[in-house]
A and B are shown apart, each in its own frame.
Chain A
C-alpha cells in the first residue's frame, strides 16, 4: 500500500526483501560478466585463478589475444558504430518530419497513417528482417534480369542492416519527438510570426531549440538500440558482422574471456551515454529557456 496508510512491519520487510532480490536478479548476469573479464583462466568459468589484464592487453607468451589486439572484434565494434550512426541520423530526421506531419498537418487518411507508423513496434524483429531481405533481393533480381543493373546495396550487407534497424527505430524516434512537439505552446510561434519573423526563422529560433532535448534523447536511444539489435541484424547481415552478431558467433564456439572484456567495454560505454543523457535531461528547462 501507499506510504500515507499504515503498513504492517511484515509488509515493509517483504517489500524490502523483494526489491533486494529483484536487484540481484537484475544485476547478477552483468556483474558476473564483468568479474570474469579479469580471471586468469582460458575460459570464463570458475574457479577464480587470480587477477589479470591479459584479456584486454593480451599476453603473447601465454598465447592470449587481448581485446585491444583482436582485430576482428575491434572491426566489428567499428562496424556497429557506423551502422548505429546511420540509423540514428535517419531515424531522427524521419522522426522529426513525422512529428510535424502528425502534429501540424491535416490530410485525409492521417489517422490510418499514424496507426501504421506504430505497426513496426508489434512486428517481431525476425519478421522485419526476413521480409526486408526477401523484398530487397527480389527487387535486386528484377533489376538485374530486366535492366542488367547490379545493385549491391540490396544484397545482404550493412546498407540492408541499416534499413532493417531503421524500419522500427524510426517509430520510437517519431513517438518521442511528437510527444514533445505536442506540448509546445503555439502562442510563442504566433507571437514571433506577428512580430514579423519568417516561418523558417521561427522554426530555427523557437521550435527546434524547444525540440532539442527530444532530438538528442531519441538520437541516443536510436544509437543504443541499433548497437544492441540482434534479431533484425542477424537476418540481413553480409560479410561484415556488427558486434552483436560477431559475439553470438563466438559464444557458440565457446569463447575466451575476451568476450567478457568487450562486454565490459559495452557496459561502461552505455553507462556513460546514459549518464550524459540524464544530465542533459536535467538541464532541459534552463537550456530551453535560455536559447
Chain B
C-alpha cells in the first residue's frame, strides 16, 4: 500500500463527502424543495392572458369566499381527526396484546398476521369493502336474510362508512409504532405499581401512556397525514357525498386544468397537515426527528 499524504487524504475525504451528498441533494432539491417552492409561487399568481401572469391572492380569495371549498376543507380536517382518534382507540388494545400479552412466538406471529392485509394494495381492500357494503353486496343481503331490514339497504356513501374505510386503511400505521413503544416498557414497572395498589386505569394513565407517548404521537401524525391526503377511499366508499379535499385538488388540477387554483388548494392542505403535525408534537412535547425514527 502506498502512503497517502495528509493533504491528499483530506482531499479524498472531501470528494467522498460530495459523492455521498450529491444523491441526497438531487433527490430533496429536485423532487421535494423546488416543486414545493414552485407550487407556492404558482398559487400566488393569476392568469390574465395567454402566457401573462401577475402576482395575486385571487386563488386564496376564491377559497374563502366560496363556501363549498372551505366547507369541504373543514369537513376533511374534522373527519381526519375523528378517524385518527378512532384508529388509536382500536389499535391500542391490539398493540397491547401483541407487545405484552402474547408470549414468545405468538406475539410476533400475531404481528405479522396484522401486517398481511397491508401488503396488498389499497385498491384491493377498497374493492373488498365495496363488495361487502354496496346495495347488492354481501352485508345488505345478510341483513335481509337475518330479518333486520326488509329490503337491501345501501351501506356505501355514508360518513360512517367513510370512517370505517379510513380507519381500516390506517390501522397498520398506528399498530407498528405503538407495538415498538410498548415493547420497551418494562413489565416490572407495571408490577410495582400494581403491588402498590394502583388501579388499572391509573397504571394506564401514569405509566403506560407517558411511556408510549412517542409511539402514540408518531402513529397519530402518520395516520392523520395519510387520512387527510387519501383520495381512493373517500372517492370509492364516500362517492359523491364524500366531499374530500383531495378530490377538489384533483378536479382543479386534472379535470379543469386550473393549476393556479389547484396549487392554492394543495398548499392549503399542506399547511393544514404540517400545522397539525407541529401541534401534535408540541402537545406531546416530542421532537420530529425522534418521533419519526420510532
Interface residues of A (CB under 8 A from B): 1-5, 15, 18-19, 22-23, 25-33, 36, 43-47, 93-94, 97-98, 100-101, 105, 107, 113-128, 130-136, 138, 163-164, 166-167, 170, 175, 179, 196, 198, 224, 227-228, 230-231, 234-235, 243-244, 247-248, 251-252, 259-260, 263, 266-267, 270-271, 273-274, 278
With both beta carbons as reference points, the residue of chain B lying nearest to A115 in the complex is identified as: B289
- The stretch among B65-73, B153-161, B209-217, B261-269 that forms the contact with chain A is B261-269
Residues of chain B contacted by A93 (CB below 8 angstroms) = 23
With both beta carbons as reference points, the residue of chain B lying nearest to A97 in the complex is identified as: B23
Q: Is the CB of B97 within 8 A of A19?
A: yes
Q: Is the CB of B119 within 8 A of A251?
A: no
> A118-B288, A230-B121, A274-B116 are known contacts. Are A19 and B94 too (CB-CB below 8 A)?
yes
Q: Is the CB of A47 within 8 A of B128?
A: no
A251 to B127, CA, bound (A): 7
Q: How would you classify the secondary structure of chain A's contact residues: helix, strand, loop or mixed?
A: helix
B48 at interface (Cβ–Cβ under 8 A)?
A: no
Residues of chain A contacted by B28 (CB below 8 angstroms) = 113, 116-117
Q: Is the CB of B131 within 8 A of A248?
A: no
Contact of B277 among A122, A138, A244, A266 (CB under 8 A): A122
> A45-B136, A98-B24 are known contacts. Are A124 and B289 too (CB-CB below 8 A)?
no
B interface, size bucket:
35 or more
With both beta carbons as reference points, the residue of chain B lying nearest to A270 in the complex is identified as: B119
A97 to B269, CA, bound (A): 32
Given contacts A118-B292, A175-B293, A234-B231, 5 further A-B pairs with CB under 8 A are A45-B137, A97-B19, A113-B28, A167-B27, A227-B121
Q: How would you classify the secondary structure of chain B's contact residues: helix, strand, loop or mixed?
A: helix
Residues of chain A contacted by B20 (CB below 8 angstroms) = 97-98, 100-101, 105
User: Nearest 8 A-B pairs (CB), nearest first?
Assistant: A124-B229, A29-B128, A131-B35, A135-B35, A228-B121, A167-B31, A270-B119, A263-B124
> A124-B270, A274-B116 are known contacts. Are A97 and B277 too (CB-CB below 8 A)?
no
A-B contact count (CB 8 A): 247
Q: Is the CB of A94 within 8 A of B250?
A: no
Q: Is the CB of A122 within 8 A of B137?
A: no
Q: Is the CB of B120 within 8 A of A267?
A: yes
Q: Is the CB of B120 within 8 A of A30?
A: yes
A30 to B127, CA, bound (A): 9
Beta-carbon contacts under 8 Å, B144-163 to A: none
Chain B 186-199 interface mask (CB, 8 Å, partner A; 1/0): 01001100100000
